[in-house]
Amino acid sequence: MTETIDVHKAQISLSELVSRVMAGTEVILTEGTTPLVRLVPVAQVPSPSRVAGLHQGAIIASDDFDTPLPDDFWIGSS
């Protein structure tokens, strides 16, 4: 369903127009008889789901990655 409304009238009832658009009505704003814009809802794009193992082997951790750091690292000895 499409509805045509003069842009000057739309300024007064913007929240009502948004409600109509969200309910499925396409709204075309005009100036006199000249169409200016079409109001339609923004498409919601679902975020892609994660896939485990998709980039397997892209990151490699060394065998000692969890070994405690030496005291020199923490106290700042030069």
Answer yes or no: is pLDDT of 26 > 80.
Answer: yes
Q: Is residue 48 part of a domain?
A: no
We report the CATH number of the domain holding residue 24 as 3.40.1620
- Give residue 10's domain range: 2-39
The pLDDT tens digits for 36-77 are: 999 888 887 777 888 888 888 888 889 998 999 888 888 886
Planar angle of CA 24, 27, 28, nearest 5 degrees: 155
pLDDT of residue 35: 92
pTM beyond cutoff 0.85 = no
CB 21 within 8 A of CB 42: no
25 located within any domain: yes
Q: What pLDDT does 78 receive?
A: 58
